[in-house]
Amino acid sequence: MATSPPAEGKPWALAAHPRLAKGTVVGVVVLDGWGEAPPDPFNCIHAADTPTLDALKKAAPARWRLIKAHGTAVGLPTDDDMGNSEVGHNALGAGQIYAQGAKLVDLALASGKIYDGEGFKYIRQSFDDGTLHLIGLLSDGGVHSRFDQLQLLLKGASEHGAKRIRVHVLTDGRDVLDGSSVRFVEMLEEDLGRLRDKGVDARVASGGGRMYVTMDRYENDWQVVKRGWDAHVLGEAPHKFKNALEAVKKLREDPKANDQYLPPFVIVDENGKPVGPIQDGDAVVTFNFRADRMVMLAKALEYEDFGKFDRVRVPKIRYAGMLQYDGELKLPSHYLVAPPEIERTSGEYLARNGVRTYACSETVKFGHVTFFWNGNRSGYFNPSLEKYEEIPSDIGIPFNVQPKMKALEIAHKARDAILSRKFDQVRVNIANGDMVGHTGDIEATIVGCKAADEAVKIILDAIEQVGGIFVLTADHGNAEDMAKRDKSGKPLLDKDGKVQTLTSHTLNPVPIAIGGPGLAPGVRFRTDLPNAGLANVAATVMNLHGFQAPDHYEPTLIEVVDK
């Protein structure tokens, strides 16, 4: 596993592929949340009408196969760790496997280096006279955060001088079971109680559900962040409780309650005063390791010039993220764990070799085919060769209400880019499988999958017209399994006998398919890479552009044989 970039000074020029020609248009389609699982009623991809994608599967094994999209294949600690869109697109674009998110934090905590870093030294300046505030997702889902990392951070911070600690908890119910918030709060309260026994003033101060409080992304709804600001920073919320366990239990009594959408709450003392608003001189750490749902809060905490909502009061704080959430924006400017240095991505190589690229998706996944694909880097490598186009996602409308999302609009943009012949690579992300899958609405997800298939047909028809090549894959699983299951694979039932809906990503492999009239007749998938993953896709795409991949890349999936 690469943990650092290749040596500086390596040439950028790519050697020509000995068997594959340059100049053919390559369409790269990423189906978000589109894994492969046995057919059953909870496999929305199987249940949906998807004739285009079904036809591609018939080309197996020569031109359709499965690859890994989770765990160590994408740089996560173990193969029990679900993949996600960020690490998935990092791997797809980088062509190399880098230690990611949770693993970076694990290494820093295990070695103790986190406490020697500039970020921790920065926030430590507030420990003598101020409070350390920890804000993040209370979960062991391993997608945005992990509870054991919060436990270690609490312990380590107290051992390194934090005398007053306040935790601001965001309940999950998306990457873990709905209702598990009660168990996590119980465990957290036990840990905080042990710290109090050691003389540390440690308490939960505020909270709310992740999809309603604080954790919005891509500037979709700033009101979500404002609710968090009001609760965490100002100590103001519509619901007040004496402790966090009472808060979560009471709020969950509502028949429609869901951990994802719990309303904001604050903890108050016997006089009704909030126990942990953020004040001048305090330190704040957002402990999520995943970037996308922390960037907006980071902007609110860090930017002096900020007009997205009225912050009312802006305390002078020392703020650090668990990681730096946006490398190009340098946001936040302080962080506890250094991000992976993803260098020499396929996007940069291709730009430096004259390949003209068009990338497009809708707002919720636009960053994935640009920023994450390009190694956590904003902007263009070469503005004269690249065009990135964002289609605004629906605002204020749940994805299960509009399950077709912007799939067809993305496809039409891709079609026009392909037919224009102005680009050598046209890259898109189609988000339906993931975003509608996360709602848990099976019927809507089936509709979304059908829309994704229709979008793929539009793109492949355009590739056919220009004599091009297509590469179709996915970043992780989701829509292919929407039932929680026991160890034998049977769906779990709730107390009413209904199947429990799965809203998280999965550990399933994802498909990759190649084809198109421009694909040389002898090109087929190799059979000697049974454990290949997303990082093998970059070299594959480079080959299809007529280049050999750099020698430090994960090996290509394809070979050329004489017919």
334 is known to lie in a ligand binding site: no
Residue 551 burial by Cβ neighbours in a 10 Å radius (0-12, 13-18, 19+): exposed
Is beta strand 164-171 parallel, antiparallel or unpaired with respect to 318-323?
unpaired
Cis omega (within 30 of 0) for bond into 61: yes
**Inter-CA distances, 242 with 191, 271, 272, Å:** 18, 10, 9
- The SS3 assignment for 218 reads coil
The active-site residue, picked from 85, 126, 139, 206, is: 85
Tokens 């309603």 belong to residue: 212
The DSSP code sequence of 92-153 is HHHSS-B--HHHHHHHHHHHSGGGTSHHHHHHHTTTTTS-EEEEEEE--SSSS--HHHHHHH
Angle of helix 147-159 relative to helix 181-197, nearest 10 degrees? Answer: 10
Q: Is 85 a catalytic residue?
A: yes
434 is known to lie in a ligand binding site: yes
552 is known to lie in a ligand binding site: no
174 is known to lie in a ligand binding site: yes
254 phi, psi to nearest 5 deg: -60, 130
Residue 142 burial by Cβ neighbours in a 10 Å radius (0-12, 13-18, 19+): buried
Question: What is the rounded distance in angstroms from the CA atom of residue 516 to the CA atom of residue 467?
Answer: 7
- The SS3 assignment for 540 reads helix
498 is known to lie in a ligand binding site: no
Residues linked to residue 207 through DSSP beta bridges, in sequence order: 169, 265
254 is known to lie in a ligand binding site: no
Question: First-to-last CA distance in the chain?
Answer: 36
Handedness of CA 401, 361, 85, 308 (dihedral sign): negative
**Inter-CA distances, 469 with 330, 410, 480, Å:** 37, 18, 26
291 is known to lie in a ligand binding site: yes
221 is known to lie in a ligand binding site: no
365 is known to lie in a ligand binding site: yes
116 is known to lie in a ligand binding site: no
32 is known to lie in a ligand binding site: yes
CB neighbours of residue 302 within 10 Å: 19
346 is known to lie in a ligand binding site: no
217 is known to lie in a ligand binding site: yes
438 is known to lie in a ligand binding site: yes
Q: Is residue 328 within 8 Å of 370, Cβ to Cβ?
A: no
Give the distance between the most distant pair of CA atoms in the chain: 83
Tokens of 210: 């992740």
Handedness of CA 41, 43, 447, 460 (dihedral sign): negative
290 is known to lie in a ligand binding site: yes
Q: Which residues are annotated as a binding site?
A: 32, 85, 144, 174-175, 210, 217, 290-293, 365, 434, 438, 475-476, 505
Q: List active site positions.
A: 85
Q: Which residues are annotated as a binding site for substrate?
A: 144, 174-175, 210, 217, 290-293, 365
Q: Which residues are annotated as a binding site for Mn(2+)?
A: 32, 85, 434, 438, 475-476, 505
